[in-house]
Amino acid sequence: MNHKEANNKNNRRKFLQYLGVAAASCTVASCNNDEASNANTSKQQNSQQTFNWKMVTTWPKNFPGLGTGAEYLAQIIKEMSGGRLNIKVYGAGEIVPAFEIFDAVAAETAEMGHGSAYYWKGKNPALQFFSTVPFGMTANEMNAWLYHGGGMELWQRAYQPFGLVPMAAGNTMVQMGGWFNKEINSVEDLQGLKMRIPGLGGEVLRLAGGTPVNVPGGDLFVSLQKGVIDATEWVGPYNDLAFGLYKAAKYYYSPGWHEPGTTLECFVNEKAFNSLPQDLQAIVRNASRVANQNMMLEYVARNNDALVSLINEHNVDVREFPADVIEKLRELSAQVVADVVGSDPFAQEIYDSYQGFLAKSKAWHDLSERAYLNLR
């Protein structure tokens, strides 16, 4: 912006501020006879109104990537709105426990929540398709489906009965397979295993003979260290290093077959969202898109260094799941997905859209991303 533009902008702002003051100081008597002026006044007051919201999250306060992703979203909304929409972010447990944020926002205890859709599978198993599907889409594919393939419209329909407006607000990229205290050499090694693993992946582990449990991130380390659980997955090197999971388990398995590109969400109470003027609604929608991309790039950048640190400084033993274990997990994943899809026509509709998009994307990615990565 040059000086002239800056000056013009400044003058425009002063003029708008003047209008705001003039409108506010306009007495009832002097405005009453002028309907047009009245309408303008009301519009002006609306656009000047400041909103103070609460955002409850499933993450520990300021936890790298996830908690900071929620803070980043609140920060850019404040900046874009010139301070007209201020959102205070609360970590898990500050207002409500991690897994109660969905109900809290539906009940207007807070205007906004930040989590991931698979945590709400108790409401409707089909919601898990808006987080991630084992052996399903990568982050780029997921976002392409949501923004350009009809996924977002389905997600909005799925949250509508709860009075919530969902938005994608981050993605972890491909996760790691998890932390184990024994080698996984065969499917038998998964039997009897009590592992923290959420969503559809957890159901796959159940079919493989294990016991999936869901533990909020903040409780993971202690649960693993005290033997409450035998194994855990969390996210990837950046987050797993931050929790110190390497101190509680020896083997770190790749890849995260169960979470190939998990979408983080923010959802807004529908009434609160509709109470915003249109420009602030647009800011919330577009800020979530920026936050979505920003989180992905942060993971791409930070996982590299964290992996080096885990291996070189903390002597972590990084392994790959054997091919026959992966094949069995793939087979069981198809069964788990078929169960969800068979439970409800809307689940079938969501999955048809998801799977149809993935089939086309796979054909193209085999010739592009996969072909290139294989020759690099």
- Residue (230 or 233) nearer to Ca ion, CB: 233
Rounded Cα distance, 280 and 123, in Å = 29
Q: How far is the CB of 178 from Ca ion (least distance, A)?
A: 8
CB within 8 A of 99, min separation 6: which ones? 58, 119, 214, 216
With helix as H, strand as E and coil as C, how does 26-69 read? CCHHHHCCCHHHHHHHHHHHHHHCCEEEEEEECCCCCCCCCHHH
Question: Tokens 């609360």 correspond to what residue?
Answer: 90
Q: How far is the CB of 135 from Ca ion (least distance, A)?
A: 15
Q: How many CB atoms lie within 10 A of CB 312?
A: 9
Residues binding Ca ion: what is the number (CB under 5 A)? 3
CA separation, residue 233 to residues 177, 195, 250 (Å): 6, 8, 13
Binding to Ca ion by CB under 5 A, coded x per residue (else -) over 233-252, reads x-------------------
- Residue (93 or 255) nearer to Ca ion, CB: 255
- Residue (154 or 220) nearer to Ca ion, CB: 220
- Residue (54 or 258) nearer to Ca ion, CB: 258
Among 337, 312, 321, residue whose Cα is nearest residue 177: 321
Site for Ca ion in 217-236 (CB under 5 A): 233
Q: How far is the CB of 253 from Ca ion (least distance, A)?
A: 13
Site for Ca ion in 150-189 (CB under 5 A): 175
Q: How far is the CB of 57 from Ca ion (least distance, A)?
A: 16
Q: By CB neighbour count within 10 A (0-12 exposed, 13-18 middle, 19+ buried), where does 308 fall?
A: exposed
Among 311, 191, 337, residue whose Cα is nearest residue 254: 311
Encoded tokens for 187: 């499917």
Q: How far is the CB of 59 from Ca ion (least distance, A)?
A: 12
- Residue (149 or 256) nearer to Ca ion, CB: 256
What are the strands, taking DSSP E only, across 172-301? Answer: 178-180, 194-196, 211-213, 231-232, 251-254, 263-269
- Residue (110 or 245) nearer to Ca ion, CB: 245
Q: How far is the CB of 242 from Ca ion (least distance, A)?
A: 14
Q: How many CB atoms lie within 10 A of CB 314?
A: 13
Q: How far is the CB of 172 from Ca ion (least distance, A)?
A: 7
- Residue (106 or 193) nearer to Ca ion, CB: 193
Site for Ca ion in 247-306 (CB under 5 A): 259
Mapping DSSP to helix (H, G, I), strand (E, B) and coil, where does residue 178 land? Answer: strand
- Residues forming contacts to Ca ion in the complex (CB under 5 A) are 175, 233, 259
